[in-house]
């Protein structure tokens, strides 16, 4: 990236963008989105690949549910993909050796959120940590004091643990210390926790409700410090579409879409001098590739116009839910082209990849 005349810069090329935290829906929740619609959103957002969470019904916690999801995502996905297996309250650890090779990792929900997968018993958590094959990632939803509980299990078992959507200064401090101690942990932060706070819930209402909830300005500042100093490994969208009608309910379901707004929000930080291009590429592509042990195929990259400045508008989004908590925000950075295996799959306006053209990254349908 070179600074040219009047602050214009040449396009940024990102190799193999991957979002390791999305909820694509489909299956029993096709009304919220489908593998075809949400992977179109992924490509339009610049992504080569996404990793899908197990909490959409039927939850991915047994062999039939995994088989159904692999079949459906293989038939529907337009981008490359992996899926997580879910830890279940009803002990499902006996099948871990059989399923681990077909998934990107295990997800453990240690605090309440959308779906039915809460695991709040520390002894049960320990059993899941021990049973999951070493060498495959364990991704955890852990908030507040639960972060320390999970760190105790990391210390005990040595399993590589990815802490999803970390949102507070205290959690970041604990994890920074754990990294300094040499524990095998990685950290994800979402764009909504970097750009919004609890004050925005006053205007956004249900569209600003997700798990973890939006936090304080001091938490937001601590997250940015951790993003810029290298403590945070990945920016993950936690793309979680719900329909507007559902969001209108009382209580509203938790979750916000994010696949099409994450890259421009980070480019906006880049252009404001808050991030370097090297750091942006690490946060959106290479760190997640390293954590999950996948490399993009040859000729797989995203071309980003760093000069484009525009207002986020919902009618331009591909996600089936059709809304964004960032609507109306002025951002910089527009995806001009996504190339996968030498083929243009998004040309800046249209998604050109057909459903089913995406490939599984973890041993199935490749």
Q: Which is nearer to Zn ion, 238 or 305 (CB)?
A: 238
Q: Which does 210 bind (CB under 5 to 8 A by kind): Zn ion, ligand DOR, none?
A: ligand DOR
**CA–CA dist 97, 252 (Å, integer):** 37
C-beta of 22: minimal distance to ligand DOR in Å? 9
For strand 185-189 and strand 234-235, is the pairing parallel, antiparallel, or unpaired?
A: parallel
For the chain, state the CA radius of gyration: 19
CB of 28 to ligand DOR, least distance (A): 13
Kindly tell me which of 87 and 303 has the beta carbon lying closer to ligand DOR. Answer: 87
Phi, psi of 43 (to 5 degrees): -65, -45
Q: Shortest distance, CB of residue 234 to ligand DOR, whole angstroms?
A: 16
Q: Least distance to ligand DOR from the beta carbon of 58, Å?
A: 14
* Footprint of ligand DOR (CB under 6 A): 23, 55, 113-114, 141, 210-211, 240, 254-255
Find all residues with CB under 8 Å of 120, minimum gap 6, and list them. 110, 111
Nearest CA-CA partner of 209 in 336, 102, 323: 323
| Closest CB 117 distance from ligand DOR, rounded Å | 9
167 binds, among Zn ion, ligand DOR, none (CB under 5 to 8 A by kind): none
CB 81 within 8 A of CB 113: no
Closest approach of Cβ 236 to ligand DOR, in Å?
A: 11
Residue closest to ligand DOR, measured at CB: 255
Per-residue b/e over 273-304, b at no fewer than 16 CB within 10 Å? eebebebbbbbbbbbbbebbebebeeebbbbb
- Considering CB distances under 5 to 8 angstroms, the limit depending on partner class, which of Zn ion, ligand DOR, none binds residue 254? ligand DOR
Given ligand DOR, Zn ion, none, residue 255, with its beta carbon under 5 to 8 Å by kind, binds ligand DOR
Residue 291's binding partner out of ligand DOR, Zn ion, none, with CB under 5 to 8 Å set by partner kind:
none
Judged by the rule CB under 5 A, the positions of this chain that interact with Zn ion are 238
Q: Which is nearer to ligand DOR, 114 or 289 (CB)?
A: 114
Q: Shortest approach of ligand DOR to residue 84 CB, angstroms? A: 12
List the single partner that 211 binds among ligand DOR, Zn ion, none, CB under 5 to 8 Å by kind.
ligand DOR
Question: Between residues 80 and 143, which has the closer beta carbon with respect to ligand DOR?
Answer: 143
Residue number, 171 or 238, with CB nearest to Zn ion: 238
Token pair belonging to 209: 């409700």
For the beta sheet containing 80-86, the strands, ordered from the edge strand earlier in sequence to the opposite edge, are 18-22, 49-52, 80-86, 105-109, 137-141, 161-163, 185-189, 234-235
Please give the Cα distance from 161 to 151 (Å, whole number): 9
Q: Which residue has the tokens 């709040």?
A: 120
User: Cβ distance 303 to 38 under 8 Å?
Assistant: no
């Amino acid at each position: 990236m070179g600074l040219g005349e009047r602050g214009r810069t040449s396009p940024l090329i990102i190799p193999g963008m991957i979002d390791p935290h999305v909820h694509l829906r489909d299956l029993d929740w096709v009304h919220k989105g489908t593998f075809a619609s949400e992977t179109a959103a992924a490509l339009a957002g610049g992504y080569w690949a996404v990793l899908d969470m197990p909490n959409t019904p039927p939850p991915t916690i047994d062999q039939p549910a995994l088989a159904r999801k692999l079949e459906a995502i293989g038939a529907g996905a337009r981008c490359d993909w992996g899926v997580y297996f879910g830890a279940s309250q009803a002990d499902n650890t006996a099948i871990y050796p059989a399923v681990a090779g077909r998934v990107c990792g295990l997800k453990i929900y240690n605090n309440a959120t959308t779906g039915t997968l809460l695991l709040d018993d520390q002894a049960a958590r320990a059993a899941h940590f021990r049973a999951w094959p070493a060498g495959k990632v364990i991704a955890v939803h852990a908030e507040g004091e639960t972060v320390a509980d999970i760190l105790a299990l990391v210390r005990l078992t040595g399993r590589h643990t990815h802490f999803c959507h970390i949102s507070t200064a205290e959690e970041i401090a604990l994890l920074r210390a754990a990294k300094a101690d040499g524990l095998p942990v990685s950290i994800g932060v979402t764009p909504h926790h970097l750009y919004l706070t609890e004050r925005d819930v006053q205007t956004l209402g249900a569209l600003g409700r997700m798990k973890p909830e939006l936090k304080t300005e001091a938490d937001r500042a601590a997250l940015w410090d951790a993003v810029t100093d290298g403590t945070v490994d990945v920016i993950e969208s936690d793309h979680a579409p719900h329909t507007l009608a559902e969001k209108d309910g009382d209580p509203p379901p938790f979750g916000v879409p994010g696949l099409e707004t994450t890259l421009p929000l980070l480019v906006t930080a880049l252009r404001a001098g808050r991030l370097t291009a090297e750091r942006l590429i690490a946060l959106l592509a290479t760190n997640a590739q390293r954590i999950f042990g996948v490399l993009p195929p040859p000729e797989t990259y995203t071309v980003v116009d760093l000069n484009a400045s525009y207002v986020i508008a919902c009618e331009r989004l591909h996600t089936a839910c059709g809304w964004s908590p960032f609507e109306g925000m002025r951002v910089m950075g527009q995806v001009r082209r996504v190339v996968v295996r030498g083929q243009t799959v998004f040309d800046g306006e249209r998604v050109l990849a057909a459903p089913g053209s995406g490939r599984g990254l973890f041993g199935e349908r490749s």
